[in-house]
């Protein structure tokens, strides 16, 4: 990569909102993302997003292709690789053993996920982190907070639905600390011992974006946010989903999963004498949990 090309690319990334758009494209990978979904996820006005995308495309960092009436934007992976090579090809005068790979942190998180932990981390994932995953987080924290560190996140987080808070509070649980979180807060940053996907939409992507979870479970529940009708009918749908989540968690806890995780960690340690370095592969979905 020529220096002029690298400078143009880095200049395009030297703006916080544009950098956020670029990171969203990196996370989405080669499949691409509609501009509308990007605007909604990042909460950027459509006109502003269009400006940033044009800038990234002009710098060779992104590309677009038309799909029906929509434009799908995706990362130009070759440019990203060339940028990394541009920065690191002379690193440590060619001493590759002194330089970590760009994916080293993901490998470290995977290693931590199969290493013994007093309180393994459970991450509930859904599309928006506005209802199902929030309810699941609150219930599991109540029922097994002494065994697990519990959190939740969404692929495209939105504000928590007021009825989510209501049905949680009906169980006597606090909601003041609940916040909608982006999955990016966890990817490559925290070890995830168990990732539990609670919706169909998220399941389409999670095997690709949670590769470092030690175990990936699939518990699909109906999205109560999409319920139509009067507030009373919507509230009933939220209660039904809450009760279903509560029942599913109770059945899972009856198997004492924290002990199963410790057994897996122990076997991994015995196999190699220390913790086993996990293979770089997509975790197998546990579909036995289907309702």
Q: From the candidates 57, 91, 92, 126, give the one annotated as an active-site residue.
A: 126
How distant, in Å, are the alpha carbons of 40, 83, 199, 220 from that of 90? Answer: 40, 13, 45, 48
> Mapping DSSP to helix (H, G, I), strand (E, B) and coil, where does residue 65 land?
strand
Q: Is 151 a catalytic residue?
A: no
Q: From the candidates 91, 99, 151, 199, give the one annotated as an active-site residue.
A: 199
The DSSP code for 61 is S
160: Cβ contacts below 8 Å, ≥ 6 apart: 129, 130, 131, 134, 178, 179, 180
| 121-126, strands of its sheet edge to edge | 149-154, 121-126, 194-197, 215-218, 285-286
**Cα 212 from Cα 206, distance rounded (Å):** 11
Q: From the candidates 57, 92, 99, 206, give the one annotated as an active-site residue.
A: 206
Q: Is 92 a catalytic residue?
A: no
81's tokens = 């690789």
* 205 backbone dihedrals φ, ψ, rounded to 5°: -115, -25
Cα angle 213, 218, 220; round to 5: 140
**Cα 26 from Cα 61, distance rounded (Å):** 10
125 forms bridges with which residues in the sheet? 153, 197
**Are residues 75 and 29 in contact, defined by beta-carbon separation less than 8 angstroms?**
yes
Q: Is 99 a catalytic residue?
A: no
Which residues are tagged catalytic? Answer: 126, 199, 206
């Amino acid at each position: 990569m020529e220096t002029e090309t690298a400078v143009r690319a880095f200049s395009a990334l030297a703006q916080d909102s544009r950098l956020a758009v670029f990171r969203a494209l990196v996370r989405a990978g080669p499949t691409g993302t509609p501009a509308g979904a990007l605007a909604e996820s990042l909460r950027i006005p459509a006109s502003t997003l269009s400006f940033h995308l044009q800038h990234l495309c002009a710098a060779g960092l992104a590309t677009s292709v038309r799909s029906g009436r929509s434009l799908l934007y995706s990362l130009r992976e070759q440019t990203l690789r060339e940028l990394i090579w541009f920065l690191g090809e002379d690193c440590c005068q060619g001493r590759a053993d002194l330089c970590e790979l760009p994916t080293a942190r993901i490998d470290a998180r995977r290693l931590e996920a199969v290493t013994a932990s007093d309180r393994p981390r459970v991450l509930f994932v859904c599309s928006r982190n506005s209802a199902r995953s929030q309810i699941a987080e609150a219930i599991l924290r109540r029922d097994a907070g002494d065994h697990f560190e519990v959190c939740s996140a969404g692929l495209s987080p939105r504000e928590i639905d007021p009825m989510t808070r209501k049905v949680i509070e009906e169980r006597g649980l606090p909601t003041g600390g609940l916040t909608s979180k982006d999955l990016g807060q966890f990817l490559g940053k925290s070890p995830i011992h168990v990732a539990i996907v609670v919706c169909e939409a998220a399941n389409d992507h999670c095997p690709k974006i949670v590769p470092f979870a030690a175990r990936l479970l699939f518990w699909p529940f109906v999205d109560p946010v999409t319920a139509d009708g009067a507030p009373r009918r919507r509230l009933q749908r939220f209660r039904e989903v809450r009760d279903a989540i509560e029942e599913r968690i109770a059945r899972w806890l009856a198997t004492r999963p924290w002990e199963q995780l410790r057994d897996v960690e122990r076997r991994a340690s015995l196999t190699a004498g220390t913790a086993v370095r996990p293979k770089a592969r997509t975790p197998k979905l546990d579909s036995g949990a289907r309702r």
